[in-house]
């Protein structure tokens, strides 16, 4: 475990706002005055009847209902650690990358002390974004509407016609709203609005053991290769996050044509490859990872396969990881960050309403890889899991298919089956934490249990009086 980027919010408390909740205001806060939200604006639905983890059943309303979706933004996304970016994207002070936390636009940047920090990308004056670029290098974030300008520390440093404001107006009160905690795990930068969230390492728990199989192959760490692909899909974000947590089951059916094309003979993979066995990690915090287990598991791209010395990797990461989660597999870090070790694809499923998501995908590879190996892996990733990749297309088709019909009245009321591998979780003595079978819904049940728990628990920002 490591946490390389210190939390900056505490140090910056005097100059930037941390998130205070709608409806919850500090006495005498000049930025809130007598603003107080009526609780009716954010009604909370009891979703405990929609997720039956014990019977392995799920009500489809969780994929379609607008009120549930808005509650998710408040109770699932706002309190959780969310993936923001890779450290490699911030070479120097002023490097920035804009992304989303739930539906909240954020700027991730490196300040003058080289600390990675994140801010709500919305001007405190009229609310426009203060950074309209996807990424780049800057010295300030200036709103294009009226010109309020903020520095890399989030401080409001320029207000045109400042003389027009009352004496009580103090720029110190109007800095960018800062993400409460920003921490890294092996180059991956996460943030949470929740000042009370446990440290990232604690939230990841034993999931980190599996993540290390992808992120700790190289003592030098990982880098981002090429651009970040972004595409939009019809489909609730959970459909994708759930699949990456718990679903090897679909592989031979959904990806049959891709597997046929990719096999050396063109006639399909051998029976023993199709019917591999493996394990599925089931994390109590909703994370999940599945992977075939075989002594000769390998990276698919030939150049990449030849580059790795599997004996060295065995020494570094242990036999269990090299024969399991190092190569083929899938994983989700709750709620909406997923990755595929075989091609270094990491992705966020950004929610865009109950029925839409945006997929943002990076390719992350070992820093020590020579250029030709990186290029081979980049191309392999594009071919398989890029936006038009032969596997990615199959997955998107399935999620959109499920979503497209789920608003039907009768359809929506028919519960879905998540019963595979009921009660199969064990300590297998070889892999971290509890594991189930390769073909199992166990991590999915855990994913939705965690979702239900968050959805039924008031978040830190809620006024519970």
Partner 1 sequence: MTDGIKVADVGEIDEGEAISVSRDVAGTDDDIAILRDDDGEFYALDDTCTHEEASLADGWISDGEVECPLHAGKFCLKTGAVLSMPATRDTKTHKVEVRDGCVWLFPGEPAAS
Taking CB under 8 A as the binding criterion, the range among 26-34, 114-122, 153-161, 241-249 that sits at the site for partner 1 is 153-161
Rounded to the nearest whole angstrom, what is the least distance from the CB of residue 156 to partner 1 in the complex?
A: 11
Rounded to the nearest whole angstrom, what is the least distance from the CB of residue 126 to partner 1 in the complex?
A: 16
Long-range contact pairs involving 87-95 (C-beta distance under 8 Å, separation at least 24): 87/4, 87/5, 87/116, 87/184, 87/187, 87/188, 87/189, 88/187, 88/222, 88/223, 88/224, 89/135, 89/224, 90/116, 92/137, 93/152, 94/137, 94/138, 94/139, 94/152, 95/135, 95/136, 95/137
Among 149, 252, 368, 449, binds partner 1 (CB under 8 A): 149
157 binds partner 1 (CB under 8 A): yes
Rounded to the nearest whole angstrom, what is the least distance from the CB of residue 178 to partner 1 in the complex?
A: 20
142 binds partner 1 (CB under 8 A): yes
User: What sign results for the dihedral spanned by CA atoms 250, 262, 396, 120?
Assistant: positive
User: Which C-beta is closer to partner 1: that of 21 or that of 157?
Assistant: 157
User: Which C-beta is closer to partner 1: that of 123 or that of 182?
Assistant: 123
Contacts of 74 (CB under 8 A, 6+ apart): 42, 459, 461, 462
Rounded to the nearest whole angstrom, what is the least distance from the CB of residue 160 to partner 1 in the complex?
A: 6
User: Which C-beta is closer to partner 1: that of 81 or that of 148?
Assistant: 148
Rounded to the nearest whole angstrom, what is the least distance from the CB of residue 159 to partner 1 in the complex?
A: 8
Taking CB under 8 A as the binding criterion, the range among 123-131, 155-163, 251-259, 296-304 that sits at the site for partner 1 is 155-163
Residues 329 and 322: their CA atoms lie apart, in Å, by 12
User: Which C-beta is closer to partner 1: that of 26 or that of 92?
Assistant: 92
Taking CB under 8 A as the binding criterion, the range among 76-84, 97-105, 152-160, 414-422 that sits at the site for partner 1 is 152-160
Rounded to the nearest whole angstrom, what is the least distance from the CB of residue 137 to partner 1 in the complex?
A: 10
Q: Which of residues 9-48 bind partner 1 (CB under 8 A)?
A: none
Among 15, 18, 140, 263, binds partner 1 (CB under 8 A): 140
128 binds partner 1 (CB under 8 A): no
Q: Binding mask 158-197 vs partner 1 (x if CB under 8 A, - otherwise)?
A: x-x-------------------------------------
State the number of binding residues for partner 1 (CB under 8 A): 8
Taking CB under 8 A as the binding criterion, the range among 80-88, 139-147, 250-258, 266-274 that sits at the site for partner 1 is 139-147
400 binds partner 1 (CB under 8 A): no
Burial bucket for residue 56 (CB in 10 Å: 0-12, 13-18, 19+) = buried
139 binds partner 1 (CB under 8 A): yes
Rounded to the nearest whole angstrom, what is the least distance from the CB of residue 426 to partner 1 in the complex?
A: 59
Of 117, 131, 125, the residue nearest 12 (C-alpha): 117
Residues forming the site for partner 1 (CB under 8 A): 139-140, 142, 147, 149, 157-158, 160
């Amino acid at each position: 475990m490591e946490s390389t980027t210190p939390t900056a919010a505490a140090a910056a408390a005097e100059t930037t706002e941390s998130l205070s909740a709608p409806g919850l205001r500090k006495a005498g806060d000049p930025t809130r005055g007598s603003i107080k939200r009526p609780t009716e604006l954010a009604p909370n639905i009891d979703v405990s009847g929609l997720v039956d983890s014990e019977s392995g059943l799920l009500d489809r309303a969780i994929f379609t209902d607008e009120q549930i979706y808005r509650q998710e933004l408040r109770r699932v996304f706002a309190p959780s650690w969310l993936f923001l970016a890779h450290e490699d994207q911030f070479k120097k002070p002023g490097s920035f990358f804009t992304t989303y936390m739930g539906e909240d636009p954020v700027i991730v940047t490196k300040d003058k002390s080289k600390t990675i920090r994140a801010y709500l990308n919305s001007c405190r004056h009229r609310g426009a974004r203060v950074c309209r670029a996807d990424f780049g290098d800057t010295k300030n974030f200036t709103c294009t509407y009226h010109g309020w300008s903020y520095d890399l520390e989030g401080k409001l440093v320029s207000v045109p016609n400042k003389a027009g404001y009352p004496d009580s107006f103090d720029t110190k009160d109007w800095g960018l709203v800062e993400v409460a905690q920003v921490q890294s795990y092996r180059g991956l930068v996460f943030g949470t609005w929740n000042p009370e969230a446990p440290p990232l390492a604690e939230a990841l728990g034993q999931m980190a053991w599996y993540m290390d199989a992808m992120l700790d192959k190289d003592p030098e760490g990982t880098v981002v290769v090429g651009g970040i692909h972004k595409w939009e899909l019809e489909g609730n974000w959970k459909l994708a996050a759930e699949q990456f947590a718990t679903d090897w089951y679909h592989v031979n059916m959904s990806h049959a044509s891709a597997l046929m094309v990719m096999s050396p003979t063109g006639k399909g993979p051998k029976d023993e490859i199709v019917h591999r066995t493996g394990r599925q990690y089931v994390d109590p915090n909703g994370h999940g990872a599945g992977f075939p287990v075989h002594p000769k598991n390998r990276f698919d791209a030939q150049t990449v396969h030849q580059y790795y010395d599997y004996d060295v990797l065995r020494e570094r990461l242990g036999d269990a990881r090299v024969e399991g989660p190092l190569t083929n597999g899938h994983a989700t870090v709750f709620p909406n960050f997923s990755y595929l070790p075989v091609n270094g694809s990491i992705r966020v499923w950004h929610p865009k309403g109950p029925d839409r998501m945006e997929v943002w995908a990076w390719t992350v590879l070992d820093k020590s890889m020579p250029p030709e190996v990186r290029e081979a892996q980049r191309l392999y990733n594009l071919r398989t899991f890029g936006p038009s990749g032969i596997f990615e297309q199959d997955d998107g088709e399935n999620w959109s298919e499920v979503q497209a019909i789920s608003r039907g009245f009768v359809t929506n009321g028919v519960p879905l089956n998540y019963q595979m591998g009921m009660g199969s979780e064990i300590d297998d003595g070889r892999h971290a934490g509890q594991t189930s079978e390769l073909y199992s819904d166990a991590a999915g049940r855990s994913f939705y249990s965690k979702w239900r728990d968050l959805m039924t628990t008031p978040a830190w920002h809620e006024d519970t009086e």
